[in-house]
Amino acid sequence: MAIIILGTMAFDAIETPFGKTEKVIGGSATYAAYAASHLTHPLQQISIVGEDFPIQELTDLKNRGVQLDGVEIVNGKKSFFWSGKYHLDMNARDTLVTDLNVLADFNPKVPDSYQDADYLMLGNVMPSLQLSVIHQLKKRPKLVVMDTMNYWMETAMDDLKKVLKKVDVLMINDSEARQLSGDYSLVKSAKSILEMGPSYLVIKKGEHGALLFDKDSVFFAPALPLEDVFDPTGAGDTFAGGFIGHLAQTGDISFESMKTAIIYGSALASFCVEKFGPLMLKEIDNRDIQNRLDKFVQLVNFDLKF
Amino acid sequence: MAIIILGTMAFDAIETPFGKTEKVIGGSATYAAYAASHLTHPLQQISIVGEDFPIQELTDLKNRGVQLDGVEIVNGKKSFFWSGKYHLDMNARDTLVTDLNVLADFNPKVPDSYQDADYLMLGNVMPSLQLSVIHQLKKRPKLVVMDTMNYWMETAMDDLKKVLKKVDVLMINDSEARQLSGDYSLVKSAKSILEMGPSYLVIKKGEHGALLFDKDSVFFAPALPLEDVFDPTGAGDTFAGGFIGHLAQTGDISFESMKTAIIYGSALASFCVEKFGPLMLKEIDNRDIQNRLDKFVQLVNFDLKF
């Protein structure tokens, strides 16, 4: 079933303790689309790029079932660019450069051809843009998943709270959950945040895995222990793409199904971090994904005899 | 089956973001014994205390199947005392006071009545003392588990390496694993450390769970997400007691059994942190533990349909 993916398509320049790269393809919607494309189609992208964004990348996405009617290409301008440097603990990073470029004028338009989508992934962009996309949809999707970040909590909290009231799943990292709720305990954070609107909360903890909460239950999925985390950029967006991709693929949006969706998201994210940019997501096939899912089963499976 | 537990029996004064306590009962061997006492007996304690250590505590331990023939009581001297303050991220803490007191003269003696023990838990004490206990045993136990800490890596690495060659399981936290191996990646750390002697490595990550490695496999167990972690002191020792307690209870020391043992250790540790000192470990019963084990199953259980 169709998934609308709202987010950035951009360039990143990244430095990690294991290497450094010049401009590579990045952006939340790019990663999410490559991840979800392994599981379902069509994907209906809403984004904005400059004239410098490679045609080859757009073609690659199209060939993977990603519709680009909602991607505005602005001539004479450049794509969004982000540069950052990761610490040895890659859950922490410093932003070196943020060039908004075309993103400063982003005014997402939902094409008519997207109006029937059952799934909506609101990638991390300004909350008012997320809200605009929700309002443009004539039929409410079956499931709306939202990503956001601390920056919007500091600069656009009112809009962010409006979006929260309209989504089913919020997906943020642990420090963002603490900031949004004002609670240090993630269990308490989850309780407060679920009262702000969403029925489900996913807290991403990077190499420490992810938690899924609803009002009554909690589920935990570890990250796969890897020899090298080469570049964590895009891992959260890849996780989101795998998560919503699995839900759309099965059509099952129960808590049980979301647990499995988190394992899919984690498996795809574990590939993402192995190379700079979304390269690995383009290289892997279904068998690679199944093998990695098996590793998750082995990783957490235990036998309790009472 | 009998477990020998070597470690400290002591007093702690603790400050956490949620409260502060004057001297409470502490010590690695105390926590490990209370934890293991829920699963098996006899426990054969080797430790040293001053005349200030409460008789009531010794009686409580005895009543739970803990033999104290190996606990030296030194008149005219005080028990080991540690005081510390935890950060909001309770994986980090500052030591405020360390009064060795009787611990400065600790020269562990293995009583004859302990000679048949099948399990040996070497709590975190000076490596030469751990080595001394190993050498005093006429029959090598079926399983030797060792805890240690960064301090010994800095001050007694040669002895520590000797102990490593004689144990089956090493149990340390993530920063200690990084320090011991010189690798940041825990997967690489595990490979190096397993070459130093132990066949199994448990890496404790506090609120982020624990990893079990052998040469070929890795298993991950989360920590139970709790509303409040009141006081993490002793959680690692409680985990160790639950781990070896389950192995001794079942007599099965396979990798599969160790996975379950880690869940037992995690369940007991999740009680430990709910109150200052080992109080909760004395209050809970078998039903409480079973309920918590069920929570772990719910927490990590997912269904993967291919």
CA atoms lying within 13 Å on the CB side of residue B170:
31
Pairing mode, strands B143-147 and B169-173: parallel
On the question of pLDDT at B20 being above 60, the answer is yes
- Residues in chain B closer than 8 A to A211 (CB atoms): 225
Search chain B and give the residue with CA nearest A227. B187
Q: Say whether A297 and B304 touch across the interface (CB within 8 A).
A: yes
Q: Say whether B184 and A17 touch across the interface (CB within 8 A).
A: yes
**Mean pLDDT across chain A:** 95
Burial class (CB within 10 angstroms; exposed 0-12, middle 13-18, buried 19+) of B74: middle
B19 in contact with A, Cβ within 8 Å: no
For residue A73, count other CB atoms closer than 10 A to its CB: 17
Q: Which two tokens mark A234?
A: 């895009």
- Cα–Cα distance measured from residue A174 to residue A168, given in angstroms and rounded to the nearest whole number: 19
Give B230's pLDDT tier (boundaries 50, 70, 90). Answer: confident
pLDDT digits (tens, 9 = 90+) for A186-238: 999 999 999 999 999 999 999 999 999 999 999 999 999 998 888 899 999 99
pLDDT digits (tens, 9 = 90+) for B285-306: 999 999 999 999 999 988 886 5
The minimum CA-CA distance between B27 and chain A, rounded to whole Å, is 27
- Cα–Cα distance measured from residue B80 to residue B285, given in angstroms and rounded to the nearest whole number: 29
**With contact defined as beta carbons under 8 Å apart, do B91 and B29 qualify?**
no
For residue A98, count other CB atoms closer than 10 A to its CB: 13
Calculate ∠ Cα B113-B119-B120, nearest 5°. 85
Query: Which amino acid is residue A273, in one-letter code?
Result: V
Q: Say whether A188 and B226 touch across the interface (CB within 8 A).
A: no
B216 in contact with A, Cβ within 8 Å: no
A256 in contact with B, Cβ within 8 Å: yes
- Residues in chain A closer than 8 A to B218 (CB atoms): 225, 299
- Among B233, B295, B256, CA closest to B19: B233
Residues of chain A below pLDDT 50: none
Burial class (CB within 10 angstroms; exposed 0-12, middle 13-18, buried 19+) of A152: buried
Q: What are phi and psi of B298, to 5 degrees?
A: -60, -35
Q: Say whether A185 and B227 touch across the interface (CB within 8 A).
A: yes
Per-residue confidence (pLDDT) for residue A17, from 0 to 100: 87
| Domain boundaries defined on chain A | 3-300
**With contact defined as beta carbons under 8 Å apart, do A237 and A266 qualify?**
no
What percent of chain A shows pLDDT beyond 70?
A: 99
For B185, the closest of A221, A227, A297 (CB atoms) is A227
pLDDT digits (tens, 9 = 90+) for B75-108: 999 999 999 999 888 878 899 999 999 999 999 9
Per-residue confidence (pLDDT) for residue B305, from 0 to 100: 62
Q: Which two tokens mark A267?
A: 């498996």
- Cα–Cα distance measured from residue B25 to residue B289, given in angstroms and rounded to the nearest whole number: 22
For residue B193, count other CB atoms closer than 10 A to its CB: 22
Handedness of CA B289, B257, B266, A267 (dihedral sign): negative
- Cα–Cα distance measured from residue A267 to residue A262, given in angstroms and rounded to the nearest whole number: 8
The conformation of residue A125, written as its DSSP 8-state character, comes to: S
The minimum CA-CA distance between A48 and chain B, rounded to whole Å, is 36
Per-residue confidence (pLDDT) for residue A120, from 0 to 100: 98
Search chain B and give the residue with CA nearest A212. B299
B256 in contact with A, Cβ within 8 Å: yes
Q: Say whether A227 and B290 touch across the interface (CB within 8 A).
A: no
Per-residue confidence (pLDDT) for residue A88, from 0 to 100: 83
The mean pLDDT of B182-209, rounded to a whole number, is 96
Per-residue confidence (pLDDT) for residue A18, from 0 to 100: 84
Per-residue confidence (pLDDT) for residue B304, from 0 to 100: 80
Per-residue confidence (pLDDT) for residue B78, from 0 to 100: 98
CATH superfamily of A3-300: Ribokinase (3.40.1190.20)
pLDDT digits (tens, 9 = 90+) for B128-183: 999 999 999 999 999 999 999 999 999 999 999 999 999 999 999 999 999 999 99
Q: Say whether B187 and A218 touch across the interface (CB within 8 A).
A: no
Per-residue confidence (pLDDT) for residue B91, from 0 to 100: 79
**With contact defined as beta carbons under 8 Å apart, do A32 and A240 qualify?**
yes
**With contact defined as beta carbons under 8 Å apart, do B66 and B40 qualify?**
no
